[in-house]
Amino acid sequence: MLTPRPLEALRAEIDRADDLLFAALALRFAAVTEVASLKRAEGLAPVDPAREDALRRRWVRLAEAHGVPAAEALAVMESVLAQCRARVVAAAQER
């Protein structure tokens, strides 16, 4: 029989996962900021529905590959996408 890990160890693992999530968010937001500047400079539409659809399909594949329920992963990623979209739209309005 497996011995359960102590609560403190599990919480430390959660904290490490949170650290990774925030590092990934910072990386994504930085790239999105650059995309927003590029789109503004080149006169491109701030939102690309085809790209967003492709992202959603990719997220489902990633969720499945990592054993994460796709519906839960999509709920989280839709929130991230909404924040990123808001950054790009705000940058487009700075013209």
Question: Measured in Å, how far apart are the chain's first and last C-alpha atoms?
Answer: 64
Domain 7-92 has CATH 1.20.59.10: yes
pLDDT single digits (tens) 16-59 = 999 999 999 999 999 999 999 999 999 999 999 999 999 999 99
pLDDT of residue 94 exceeding 90:
no
pLDDT at residue 1 tops 80: no
Q: What is the pTM of this model?
A: 0.87
Neighbours of 28 (CB within 10 A): 14
- Whether the Cβ atoms of residue 65 and residue 12 lie closer than 8 Å to each other: no
**Per-residue confidence (pLDDT) for residue 91, from 0 to 100:** 87
What is the average pLDDT value for the chain, to the nearest integer? 95
